[in-house]
Amino acid sequence: MRGIVPQKVKGFRDINSTQNALREFIIEKASEIYRRFGFSRFDSPILEYAECLGKYLPDNDSVAQGVYSFKNPEQEPVYDTLGKEMRDSANNVIMENHYLAMRYDLTAPLARVYAEGLWQQHLRGEIQGKTNLFRRFQYGPVFRFEAKLDPGRFREFWQMDFDTVGTEDVATDAENCMILSQALENIGLKRGTYLIKINNRKIVNGLLAFIGISNADDETAVMRVIDKLDKVGIENLAKELGKGRVDETSGAQIPGLGLEEKNIDLIINYIKDFEIHLTRKETLEKLKGKPSFENQIYKEGVQELEKIDEILTNLGFNEEVAIFDPSMVRGLGYYTGPIYEVESLQTYTDEKGRQRKVGSICGGGRYDGLVENLLGIKVPATGASIGIDRLAELLTLTGQAPKQISGPVIVIVFDEKLMPLYQKTAMQLRNAGINTEIYYGAKRGLKHQMSYADKNNCPLAIIIGEDEAQKGVATVKNLKLGKLLSQQISDKNEWKSKVQTEISLENLAQEVKKLLFE
Amino acid sequence: MRGIVPQKVKGFRDINSTQNALREFIIEKASEIYRRFGFSRFDSPILEYAECLGKYLPDNDSVAQGVYSFKNPEQEPVYDTLGKEMRDSANNVIMENHYLAMRYDLTAPLARVYAEGLWQQHLRGEIQGKTNLFRRFQYGPVFRFEAKLDPGRFREFWQMDFDTVGTEDVATDAENCMILSQALENIGLKRGTYLIKINNRKIVNGLLAFIGISNADDETAVMRVIDKLDKVGIENLAKELGKGRVDETSGAQIPGLGLEEKNIDLIINYIKDFEIHLTRKETLEKLKGKPSFENQIYKEGVQELEKIDEILTNLGFNEEVAIFDPSMVRGLGYYTGPIYEVESLQTYTDEKGRQRKVGSICGGGRYDGLVENLLGIKVPATGASIGIDRLAELLTLTGQAPKQISGPVIVIVFDEKLMPLYQKTAMQLRNAGINTEIYYGAKRGLKHQMSYADKNNCPLAIIIGEDEAQKGVATVKNLKLGKLLSQQISDKNEWKSKVQTEISLENLAQEVKKLLFE
């Protein structure tokens, strides 16, 4: 007979108090910087109409792949391109269960938010010229159904985005990089332990235009191959641009894009040109020194990087913080201009003793076409995102996470009859602002209570037996100190005398506060 | 041709910065109290296997109704009741796309968390007797597909739960009520503006046992009818217990449960008995004065309420905070013991000038069978929940929400050529801890910039033209003061002299700080 196994959905996870504290810490510190630059918090729902989110995920050609999507339980009208309800031959409104999708990032929903705000005006033909500025930050879970799930990766993870919609000024792109830098440093990363790599999609598009690739789908296809550089290496990359290759580990046939040999060489040489470390100025010079495929889009791309360099330099964000990396392209389909990615340079030792890096912890860029796809009007926009969970992983693996927060003081249930006294005592401590738990577990043995206290990181235990109750005192056991001293003091009585104190119930809150905070 | 309308999914909403600040405020203040009682934060995913969540929603008989549920894109094994993979006649593991569900509350997932933790031990037959204590709090969105959506209600809303799993001691139920009271008061509600109503499912189950109803489904059916008391009134309630009724507004036929007349009378009389205001002690006396249907379960229920009363009285939570309400049953199917609901007593005036109440803002109770349904082992548990969004609505409607937070200082883009100076100035302010935005919008007219500043609640505007730049000063316009004085001062020059100041760029951060915080 069929049964139920209580388990998390595969690829999902529970988050314990330590992990939550770390998420909260990152969110608090990054929010501070996002607000410092004038952003305010905004939230959109977890669910959206699938068609409003569009199809921008890397490695997936349809919204159904990579996205948790399902039919809305209720039927709603189908609309035409003018926003009018469509009708069948009998003049009945055509109804349908539209597809809903759990958001796969926080950028696509933002485009919906902005487009929705202008929709009625748009239908009335009232939008002339430029549209309003909208800046917001948002954090929370996003959902991706990755068919093959790498170890340590999850299908629900947290991101923290800030975006500016309604400006084409690339000064905002420079600002995005400064925000990422300041947010990471506010979280505790030292300068030099992370590196912002900046590029411009226009430069790569210019290069592709030179070899005759200029439609968006083909551009995206090449970008996605180039995006694999770090994963597969330059030789395999060349094969994927050409005739395809066989994957070494899985033996799977990976189809190629079928580019001509000379065009593949051109792309590969371009990538190799920037493999060596160059300053931002040197990179700009080298980019400008490629007149062979200089076209309008390419030139614009280089000019924008020049402007970004000027601003960063002017404000003290030097080469240690941000470099230009012309071979960095990012996988998402919606980028149109400057793009950036933050790489952690710190290494940690994994369980097999290997030196490893967490890799990319932030990313972003300009997506001038995303709102247009919904609204039919060009609305420039740009933003970036901190991968909260990836950053949390980095902080944990490199020992940079804030110390574990202390659990509550625990009132031990030593004698059931004294429960009212325990409750009064706990209330007295709580009223003094001390986090206090009465042990209410079903297993009431003292040993079990102590192990519960230990597991929950309780700093102190309050023990009141009949004797203590009659004397009006409590035995306070310093669990934290006890753990520490148990390694230094072997004599049990000596240890006890240092770790346990008798305190009058009257002064208990005051004395406990001293033990906790002094 | 079919088009895309950019819009939120029906029943969902975006949350602006003011609403987010209010949610954050509630979460911060309630977290403080939850931690004060020893709870720590824990998070479970948004998605769960539908079968792990079970079917407990009111007014819905299947998980598909009321819940957003869909098939997992990947196939996984089907398990038998012993947790083993099931196989077909050819000995292949039977695979299936299991149903996933978006969580409809935070309690059902907690049961999964706890059961999952014990599952392997359970399979090995290692669980003997009582199980461990687990306490956690959790907040976030939950999702309900309500076919008929009342105005002002949403299909995604936030809850904030705390729960204790692994104890049958009803002292924890008393504690739950104290936590709700302290959390609400920490959020700013005055004592006397809310009321905790406490009952015990065992008492109602005892009553139902007396009239021959003792299976869980029938009990739940009667509870759900009684739960409608406030909505439909006692006469309609009697009809729904009997032959059913026709809804006055919709004309819909509402089927009845078909109870016998004398049993309906008994239930109705029981409800009427407690319509008048009674103290907790008086209610207990009246409950004990009903020997006609006293049975074991009823007696237990009353004894538990007595214990809860003792604890609440002992710790100063008097009748103003909490009463007993034997006709309050709550709609959810999983409650087994003490239950509680917090009602806001405050009225507000709606848009039609009517006096209204928000109603129930918190709820909770004991659910000793929820983990058992997954694990096959009885694990007592209890908890409660604050309806964050409902409470936020209450605070807003009654003017108790904290003041709107201030937007950033805005640096006006007066002259494109001076952009590097604006960027340096903004950086100077930010380095001094002042939230500062450079206006990067595409519409660059001064009027437009000022209206943007107004919309975003900016307290000050920094204006630097060529003259100011040469003199090394900035004109600082106090927008907040300006708004205030515009109602008092009609002379434009006088207004300007009070609202605008010239400040040297060197001292700008220092002076701006004074203007903001003094």
Q: Does B452 touch chain A (CB under 8 A)?
A: yes
pLDDT tens by residue, A267-281: 999 999 998 889 999
Helices (H) and strands (E) in chain A, counts: 18, 21
Please tell me whether residue A176 adopts helix, strand or coil conformation. helix
Res B86 pLDDT > 80: yes
How close, in Å, is residue A460 to chain B by CA atoms?
A: 12
- Best B133, B370, B389, B451 residue to mutate vs chain A (most A CBs within 10 Å): B133
Report CB contact under 8 Å: B9, A48: yes
Q: Which of A463-467, B200-204, B283-287, B481-485 has the weakest average pLDDT?
A: B481-485
Q: Where are the alpha helices (DSSP H) in B188-257?
A: 201-210, 216-226, 229-241
A464 within 8 A of A437, measured Cβ to Cβ: no
Gap between the Cα atoms of B455 and B462, Å rounded = 16
- pLDDT of the residue at A316: 95
- Calculate what percentage of chain A has a pLDDT beyond 90: 79
- pLDDT of the residue at A238: 94
Report CB contact under 8 Å: B435, A14: no
- pLDDT of the residue at B61: 42
- Read off the tokens for B507: 């001292």
Confidence of residue B63 (pLDDT cuts 50, 70, 90): very low
How close, in Å, is residue A132 to chain B by CA atoms?
A: 7
Residues 65-84 of B with CB under 8 A from A: 68-74, 76, 78-83
* Chain A environment of B12 (Cβ under 8 Å): 45, 47
- pLDDT of the residue at A126: 92
Res B292 pLDDT > 70: no
Res B303 pLDDT > 80: yes
Res A63 pLDDT > 60: no
How close, in Å, is residue A312 to chain B by CA atoms?
A: 10
Gap between the Cα atoms of A451 and A454, Å rounded = 5
Q: How far is CA B460 from CA B105, B136, B198, B494, in A?
A: 43, 43, 51, 18
State which amino acid sits at residue A348: Y
Res A215 pLDDT > 90: no
- pLDDT of the residue at A293: 67
Instruction: State mean pLDDT over B191-216.
Output: 93
Residues 303-332 of A with CB under 8 A from B: 310-311, 314-315
- pLDDT of the residue at B214: 84
Confidence of residue A60 (pLDDT cuts 50, 70, 90): very low
- Read off the tokens for B426: 């903004």
- pLDDT of the residue at A424: 97
| Residue of chain B nearest A49, judged by CA positions | B9
pLDDT tens by residue, B258-291: 999 999 999 999 999 998 889 999 999 999 987 6
How close, in Å, is residue B339 to chain A by CA atoms?
A: 18
Residue B480 CB burial class (10 angstroms; 0-12, 13-18, ≥19): middle
How close, in Å, is residue B136 to chain A by CA atoms?
A: 9
- pLDDT of the residue at A57: 60
B188 within 8 A of B313, measured Cβ to Cβ: no
Nearest to A280 by CA among A251, A250, A312, A316: A312
How close, in Å, is residue A115 to chain B by CA atoms?
A: 6
Res B58 pLDDT > 60: no
Q: Is A13 left (phi over 0), alpha (psi -120 to 50) or beta?
A: beta
pTM of the model: 0.95
Nearest to B65 by CA among B45, B50, B75, B46: B50
Gap between the Cα atoms of A375 and A379, Å rounded = 9
State which amino acid sits at residue B459: P
Please tell me whether residue A340 adopts helix, strand or coil conformation. strand
Nearest to B123 by CA among A10, A5, A7: A5
Report CB contact under 8 Å: A47, B156: yes
Q: Which of A140-154, B60-74, B483-497 has the weakest average pLDDT?
A: B60-74
Confidence of residue B151 (pLDDT cuts 50, 70, 90): confident
Report CB contact under 8 Å: B12, A82: no
State which amino acid sits at residue A477: K
Q: Which of A78-87, A173-182, B155-164 has the weakest average pLDDT?
A: A78-87
Res B391 pLDDT > 50: yes
* Chain A environment of B51 (Cβ under 8 Å): 4
ipTM score here? Answer: 0.94
Nearest to A469 by CA among A409, A408, A412, A410: A412
- pLDDT of the residue at A64: 56
- pLDDT of the residue at B246: 92
- Calculate what percentage of chain A has a pLDDT beyond 70: 98
Confidence of residue A230 (pLDDT cuts 50, 70, 90): confident
pLDDT tens by residue, A125-142: 999 889 999 999 999 999
- Calculate what percentage of chain B has a pLDDT beyond 90: 79
- pLDDT of the residue at B60: 45
Q: Does A9 touch chain B (CB under 8 A)?
A: yes
Report CB contact under 8 Å: A81, B45: no
Q: Which of A105-114, A382-391, A447-456, B48-57 has the weakest average pLDDT?
A: B48-57
A with B: how many residue pairs have Cβ under 8 Å apart? 300
Confidence of residue A56 (pLDDT cuts 50, 70, 90): low
Q: Does B376 touch chain A (CB under 8 A)?
A: no
* Chain A environment of B10 (Cβ under 8 Å): 74, 76
As a whole number, the mean pLDDT across chain A is 93
The residue with tokens 């969105």 is B141
Nearest by CB to A133, which of B45, B78, B452? B452
A158 within 8 A of A23, measured Cβ to Cβ: yes
Gap between the Cα atoms of B299 and A199, Å rounded = 74
pLDDT tens by residue, A368-421: 999 998 999 999 999 999 999 999 999 999 999 988 789 999 999 999 999 999
* Chain B environment of A172 (Cβ under 8 Å): 440
